Structure 1
Amino acid sequence: MVISRIWFTAAQKVEMWERWKRGESISSISRSLDRRNKSGVQQIIGVRGGIAPPVRRRAARALRLEEREEISRGLASGLPMRAIARSLGRSPSTICREISHNGGARSYRAARADKQAWDRALRPKPCRLACLGRLRRRVAQKLALQWSPEQIAGWLKREHPSDPDMQISHEAIYRSLFIQSRGVLKKELTAHLRTRRQIRHAKGAQTPTGQGQILDMVSIRERPAEAEDRAVPGHWEGDLLIGAGDTRIATLVERHSRFTMLVKLTKRDSATAVTALARKIGKLPEELRRSLTWDQGKEMARHRSFTVATNVQVYFCDPRSPWQRGTNENTNGLLRQYLPRTTNLSRLSQAQLDAIALRLNQRPRKTLDFETPADRLDKVLQ
């Protein structure tokens, strides 16, 4: 596998791994880096087994670029090495080695010397399993018996309490499995893992079959305080209601009045959902168009188009946190009285959905002191 042909800047690689650790998919990362083909990102992440390389840092006592520039100026001025070392607070032997390793006094250049020192410092250290053959064979045997790396590490610690050469952490075993460039454990052994995955994923990340994270999401934590306390109308919560045969409609609930709107969806793609929702929200008066809170479903992948069309900012809940849209979740439960799970929602017209929403909006609600959502909303609009 040739990685050198895939050109990413150092900053792009940092961003790539940060996004991967946050749980974004390879496709999503490729789009964020303006790469049409995801193979470049896939190769870089795949060769590391999904495990981000450690951040390289210079040793505390290593010469800095500024010091190398001082050395270069001192040489150009004809200063002896001891004088240069004294001005930098360094040993003369350090300055002597620095100059001799980088072309001598006549050819020394600070920037080139700094880069060469950085390149020379890249000395990969053999991993523990590569150095300890007996330990490597025992780990491979237990993996073949479908033991987990954590079980292997715990068992070795109990079996060989006084032999450090027969002990290893479960994380080191995972790394030797996933990072195949180490050439220590056969990749086929990953088939014995419980998950059978061959690459490390962040906790809570979507599986490779998912479509990745929605771009430019704005968290619910940035939603205005007025939406949280329900004092100001115009803040909505939305979700999909699923029927038989994976048919679906969109549900919208206004947080202040609990007023509900239902939206027919003819297709499952984001463009259709966003267009239908924008058309529905766009009919509302301006004072009822403030914000919309949604979960991280892919139907809102084009949320920016929705915001442009309606001037309504979309805020996204945290993954697997339905309580952050509690009003909408409760309303969907009430709608099941009219739309059981066995209902084929594709057969219902928008007029029929409007009639169901009307019935729900004209029912008294305990949370509104038995006022109806329709009456509460009328008061706002008067």
Structure 2
Amino acid sequence: MPRGYRRLSEADQDEIWARLRAGHAVKPTARALGLPTGTVRAYLVRCGGIRPAPRRRSPGRLSFAEREEISRGLAAGSSLRAIAAGLGRAPSTMSREVAAHGGPTGYRAAPAEDSAWARARRPQPCKLATHPQLRAIVGEKLTHRWSPQQIAGWLKTTYPQVPEMQVSHETIYRTLFIQSRGALRRELTTYLRTRRVIRRPAGTRLPDGRGGRPGILHISERPAEADDRAVPGHWEGDLVFGKRMSPVATLVERSTRFVMLVALPEGYKADLVAQALAAKITTLPAALTRTLTWDQGHEMAEHKRFTHQTGVQVYFCDPKSPWQRGSNENTNGLLRQYLPRTLDFRTLTQDNLDAIADELNGRPRQTLGFKTPSQAPAEVLR
């Protein structure tokens, strides 16, 4: 056993899961328990970030206390039938138990308990492990960067009368994260939006009021029709950055979740951003250009110029409140599958970005009833 190694006790495991639910990271959790960070991380990876269900003994099985009584009875020379009567068990149960663990002369309670507890590990195979056709479809859709929730929804609508061809998104996630299930390769996690190999608890950061800018239209002044998403033409925007702070502007329509990407090869100064966004958004029909919601970044300092060129009024979120542009934030997360932070976005042309947007707009979305964003604008305009 490695020097300094400490086996995780049940108390350690309970504390690890409690701290993770409270929002603590792995390193401070390990430090608080006096454990190596690698020990805690390896345990979480082995579990897939999902706490295993506690093992429970079936009421019909022999307990450790009963096995000790059997061992004492055999040592005292009692018959199996007499031991069974004292425990309220069937004589055949005593016979099988003793025969399986050394016989009348070699039976010992502790080894018998350990052996029985080890043999009781018979996990049921998951659905993806027993249905090759379903597993193949799920794996293929993952390679096309469909989320497990999109896959589950698509399967339900495609095979409504075939339960064997349906699987929940939770089963897909668990099969990816818990490799002991042996159905989906861990490499498929690279196609997930986050590329994580374990589940992590979600955390939130509350705004502290810093970073406000005067002289702008606040999101609370935005038309009510933009809030309920009933009328198209209300957009959310932001910048995503790659290697060496290379930027790309993202635009998402709130009603249809339609995505447009705008190249910024010269940088993200306010005048360049306003000019590039105006050139892109004026290619749309007037019915799809009403408002734009942005955060309070300095790249939109020329918002009045943008509004003058396009007629699209810009509204600004509260500081540190990304959820006020929820559709855009979600889309930016999806785009990281195509635009990782390690890529220099200046190497991409507008044609490259349009191709990425087309692929993303061709993926079904749960919020659209598993229609694609490419289908939604045409239906809205009709």
If the length of structure 2 is used for normalisation, what is the TM-score?
Answer: 0.50
If the length of structure 1 is used for normalisation, what is the TM-score?
Answer: 0.50
